[in-house]
């Protein structure tokens, strides 16, 4: 029987990553933190640091790797720098939306029928 819940809270916090520093097996760490063994396996894999003669786990490296992966999640924004500059120009010059739509028709994200 499993002693963990994998519906929520799959991500480890930095505090939980510090528990991985002691020499324990992945299954022991999983039981201690009430996480799935596969989560711990991935965590140990992502947090490895290559030293001169051996590979060691680092909680800081694991957290940095996690943050990098999370930044790339989700849908990219349609609000680009060019669109931001155009909207700022319209607001500064107090142009109406009609003037903006006629001047920059390619910037509108509407579906014309």
pLDDT digits (tens, 9 = 90+) for 65-75: 888 888 888 88
Is the per-residue pLDDT at 107 higher than 80? no
> pLDDT digits over 35-48, tens only?
788 887 877 777 77
Extract the tokens encoding 27: 């299954």
Confidence (pLDDT) at 61: 82
Mean pLDDT in the chain?
74
* Residues 31, 80: Cα–Cα separation, whole Å: 45
Backbone angles phi, psi at 55, to 5 degrees: -105, 135
């Amino acid at each position: 029987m499993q002693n963990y819940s994998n519906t929520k809270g799959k991500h480890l916090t930095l505090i939980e990553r510090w528990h991985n520093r002691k020499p324990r097996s992945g299954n022991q760490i999983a039981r201690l933190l009430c996480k799935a063994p596969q989560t711990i396996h991935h965590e140990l894999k992502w947090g490895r640091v290559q030293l001169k003669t051996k590979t060691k786990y680092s909680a800081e490296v694991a957290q940095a790797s996690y943050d990098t992966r999370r930044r790339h999640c989700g849908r990219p924004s349609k609000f680009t720098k060019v669109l931001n500059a155009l909207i700022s120009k319209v607001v500064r010059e107090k142009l109406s939306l009609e003037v903006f739509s006629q001047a920059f028709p390619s910037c509108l994200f509407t579906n014309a029928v």
